[in-house]
């Protein structure tokens, strides 16, 4: 999506930790392969909070987009807040920021940010039962974790309880659970018939699907 927006100078910020560095490396590889025009890249140390000098530098570099792969409940909300204060008028892209405690309380900080969001694949009946029992919503991974227990149970019952038996059995399983129909490829990667990610944006303080 980003590579198709005809940006002329894309800056990338990423937090220095294993999770965000892996996203950063994959992002750069994909964007370069699609001919996106990447500019400056900045590694942000953990708990860094004063982005003002960096934001002024971005403005001087005439960037027209910023990919901010920054730690939730820390660097991310600080960057967004200070970007508003210093009128950094560019398109900002982000990873999933929907668990950022500050942004959840003040979602208007992220207005017009375009983000890559993981979404729960649990069906509505399961989500309703889960929230009624535990008094919290069924978030990402809950339905999948529930299904995993029964997938392993089925593999043991069909093929045996040895590690190799379970591994071989998983390649043949076609399991219909609360997160959809689950199968495994030859490398053990899960295939699901349901969408697990989507692009979203923030409009008037609300997370909404991006109209493509």
From 120, 121, 160, select the one nearest 140 (Cα to Cα). 120
Query: What is the chain's Cα-based Rg?
Result: 21
Residue 73: the pLDDT is 78
Strand extents, DSSP E, 52-123: 65-69, 91-94, 114-118
Sign of CA dihedral 22, 28, 31, 34: negative
Residue 121 in 3-state DSSP?
coil
pLDDT tens, position by position, 38-80: 999 999 998 899 999 999 999 999 999 999 999 887 899 999 9
pLDDT tens, position by position, 152-208: 999 999 999 999 999 899 988 999 988 888 888 877 777 777 666 788 899 988 888
From 39, 51, 97, select the one nearest 72 (Cα to Cα). 97
Q: How far apart are CA 161 and CA 181, in angstroms?
A: 23
List the chain domain ranges. Answer: 2-119+195-209, 124-192
Sign of CA dihedral 89, 54, 36, 77: negative
Q: How far apart are CA 112 and CA 208, in angstroms?
A: 10
Based on DSSP, count helices (H) and strands (E) in the chain, helices before strands.
7, 10
The 8 Å CB, 24+ separation contacts for 59-62 are: 59/86, 59/88, 61/9, 61/11, 62/9
Q: 135 to each of 99, 120, 127, 145, how far by Cα in Å?
A: 18, 17, 11, 18
Fold held by 2-119+195-209:
Rossmann fold (3.40.50)
Residue 194: the pLDDT is 67
With DSSP H G I counted as helix, E B as strand and the rest as coil, what are the percentages for the chain, rounded to 5?
Answer: 40, 25, 35
Q: How far apart are CA 47 and CA 63, in angstroms?
A: 24
Residue 210 in 3-state DSSP?
coil
Q: How far apart are CA 212 and CA 136, in angstroms?
A: 31
Q: What is the pTM of this model?
A: 0.72
- The rounded mean pLDDT for the chain is 89
């Amino acid at each position: 999506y980003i590579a198709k927006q005809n940006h002329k100078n894309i800056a990338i910020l990423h937090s220095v930790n294993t999770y965000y560095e892996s996203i950063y490396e994959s992002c750069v590889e994909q964007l370069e392969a699609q001919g996106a025009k990447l500019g400056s890249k900045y590694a942000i140390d953990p708990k860094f909070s004063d982005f003002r000098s960096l934001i002024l530098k971005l403005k001087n570099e005439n960037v027209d987009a910023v990919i901010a792969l920054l730690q939730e409940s820390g660097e991310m909300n600080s960057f967004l807040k200070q970007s508003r204060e210093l009128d950094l008028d560019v398109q900002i892209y982000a990873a999933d920021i929907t668990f950022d405690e500050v942004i959840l309380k003040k979602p208007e900080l992220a207005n017009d940010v375009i983000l890559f969001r993981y979404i729960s694949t649990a069906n509505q009946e399961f989500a309703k039962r889960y929230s009624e029992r535990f008094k919290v919503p069924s978030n990402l991974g809950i339905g999948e974790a529930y299904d995993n227990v029964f997938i392993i149970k089925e593999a043991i019952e069909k093929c045996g309880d040895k590690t190799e038996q379970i591994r071989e059995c998983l390649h043949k399983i076609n399991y219909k659970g609360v997160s959809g129909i689950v199968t495994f490829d030859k490398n053990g990667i899960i295939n699901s018939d349901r969408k697990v990610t989507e692009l979203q944006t923030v409009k008037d303080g609300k997370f909404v699907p991006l109209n493509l």
